[in-house]
Amino acid sequence: MSLTSILRVLLTRTRKPFVFTNRGDGHLDYEGAERLGLYVHIPFCRTICSFCPYCKVVYDKTMAKAYKEALLKEISLVGGRSNYPKEVTSLFFGGGTPALMLADIKDIVTQLKRYFSICEGIGVELHPDDVSEETLLKLKDAGVTMISIGVQSFDADCLAALGRTAPDYGKIFKAIRAVKFDTVDMDLIFAIPGQTAKTLTEDIRMAFENGATQISTYPFIDFTFADNRYRPLSELEKRKMLREITGYCRREGFERTSVWTFAKPGTRKYSSVTRENFLGFGVSATTLLKDQFKINTFLLRDYLDRIEQGALPTALTLRFSLRQRAVYYLFWSAYSLQIASSDFHRFFGRSLKGMYGFELALCRMLGLATKTEGGYRLSERGAYYFHYVEQAYTTAYIDKMWNICRKVAFPQQIVLKQSNIDGCQYKLRRIDVYTNMACLCYN
């Protein structure tokens, strides 16, 4: 039995599979959801990067116009289901390359504000090529308070290994100095073939010295459906690099704010993945609520058709059992390094100790977590093992699940079957095909 299977059975205390179906009943109760976030996916890119696993297509002006109209309609379909305006924490535009719809972002924000009151700001993911004073000023005008730049690396050889060329850094740094945001995040990838500890720490130094208030460091993962020329470095190398990142940031006085993010002290932190609940709009966007996790179709044409018919573009829905939901909750709380007992109790109406006292005591014994006044904090050791488990889930489940979703608009069912170790059956919509696949809900 694999690590992912063992953890799933231990924490959910059942051998029952996770079942995703396309029998979405349209039920979407977010009225009472606290700490609700919003996510909008913009799938267009100028060119496709070989390493990228996300849902994206090459930009097409006509398609982008149709997509904007569909997004506005999806927002009203979802937003109109509740008493509005509903208070939400934040809004994040991811992709793809959201700046390719720069002229539309303000209209999308305005449409969202009809139904939602955004309290903690608006974030946008940016390709380095799009970072100019003109673009940043337009984003500010649309209400954006946080930008996240997909730098990946400042090293030309590392960029080449990822199939990228170096952008005009002078222009980027000048624009960041000229137009201020509460948070400037730079994404950096580690364990790129050919990367060394020295080039990695140089990347971090460059980022912080040139306007980043925080960095997000992700390991290079070779998705089976990506078109990578090279394989990532070994697990041992990854571990060394993660240690190098944490050591460097500690020495330089940067604060670790999650397993993969580090920030300048006194700056506003931002994470797009640690919301208790969120609503997702657009192709491949996911929605997480107390009772369910749902995934929109990955296929653009099918998304547009569904919206045209006035229906939600949901491809798959997982109905959570209490323990499945608790595991999901704990996973992302652990990512932010803190598990607050009071938040857990507020969300589930059950005590954290009552549900997971044994597991938490074991984590403390193994040096993975420490007890704090309000709950638990992941130790550095715990953060490493979290990173390891996260990667195992990504390759065992997400890789397979995304691979299905990028080919089939509305799969009938995806079942994570315990009896088949990490096996999972899925049936295509029309053709009755069965195959062994492994998958799990994930945002």
Q: Which of 41, 127, 417, 427 binds ligand SF4 (CB under 6 A)?
A: 127
**185: which 2 tokens?**
């995040």
Query: Which residue number, 148 or 213, has a Cβ lying nearer to ligand SF4?
Result: 148
Q: Which of 9, 55, 12, 53 is nearest to 313 (CA)?
A: 55
Work out which of 97, 214, 228, 292 binds ligand SF4, going by CB under 6 A.
97
- How many distinct helices (H) and strands (E) make up the chain? 14, 22
In the complex with ligand SF4, the residue whose CB is nearer, 97 or 216, is 97
The residue whose two tokens read 């390759």 is 395
Does residue 54 bind ligand SF4 (CB under 6 A)? yes
| Closest to 216 measured CA to CA, from 242, 185, 254 | 185
Tokens standing for residue 341 = 């007992």
Closest to ligand SF4 by CB, 86 or 127 = 127
Q: Is 52 in the site for ligand SF4 (CB under 6 A)?
A: yes
Q: Is residue 41 a contact residue for ligand SF4 (CB under 6 A)?
A: no
**Which residues lie across from 423 on neighbouring strands?**
none
Examine residue 269 and tell whether it contacts ligand SF4 (CB under 6 A): no
CB of 94 to ligand SF4, least distance (A): 9
Given a contact cutoff of 8 angstroms between Cβ atoms, the answer to whether 138 and 113 are in contact is no
150 near ligand SF4, rule: CB under 6 A: yes
Q: Of 49, 63, 64, 421, which lies in the binding site for ligand SF4, with binding defined by CB under 6 A?
A: 49
The contacts of residue 273 (CB under 8 Å, 6+ apart) are: 332, 335, 443
Which of 253, 246, 191 has its CA nearest to residue 222?
Answer: 191
Q: Given its phi and psi angles, is residue 385 left (phi above 0), alpha (psi -120 to 50 degrees) or beta?
A: alpha
Residue 369 or 398: the one with the smaller Cβ distance to ligand SF4 is: 398
Strand order of the sheet with strand 369-371? 338-340, 375-378, 369-371
Q: How far is the CB of 79 from ligand SF4 (least distance, A)?
A: 26
Task: Tell me: does residue 56 bind ligand SF4 (CB under 6 A).
Answer: yes
Amino acid letter, residue 89: T
**Encoded tokens for 240:** 């060394």
Among 1, 6, 10, 48, binds ligand SF4 (CB under 6 A): 48
Among 37, 95, 123, 211, binds ligand SF4 (CB under 6 A): 95
**Cα 161 from chain centre:** 23
Q: Quick one: which segment of 51-59, 199-207, 208-216, 259-267 binds ligand SF4 (CB under 6 A)?
A: 51-59
Among 2-10, 22-30, 47-55, 274-282, the segment contacting ligand SF4 (CB under 6 A): 47-55
Q: How many residues bind ligand SF4 (CB under 6 A)?
A: 11
For ligand SF4, the closer of residues 274 and 284 by Cβ is 284
Of residues 75 and 189, the one with the C-beta less far from ligand SF4: 189
Q: Collect all residues with Cβ–Cβ distance below 8 Å to 110 and sequence separation of at least 6.
A: none
3-state helix, strand, coil split of the chain in percent (to 5) is 40, 20, 40
Q: How far is the CB of 244 from ligand SF4 (least distance, A)?
A: 24
**Residue 45 near ligand SF4 by CB under 6 A:** yes
Residues lying near ligand SF4 in the complex (CB under 6 A): 45, 48-49, 52, 54, 56, 95-97, 127, 150
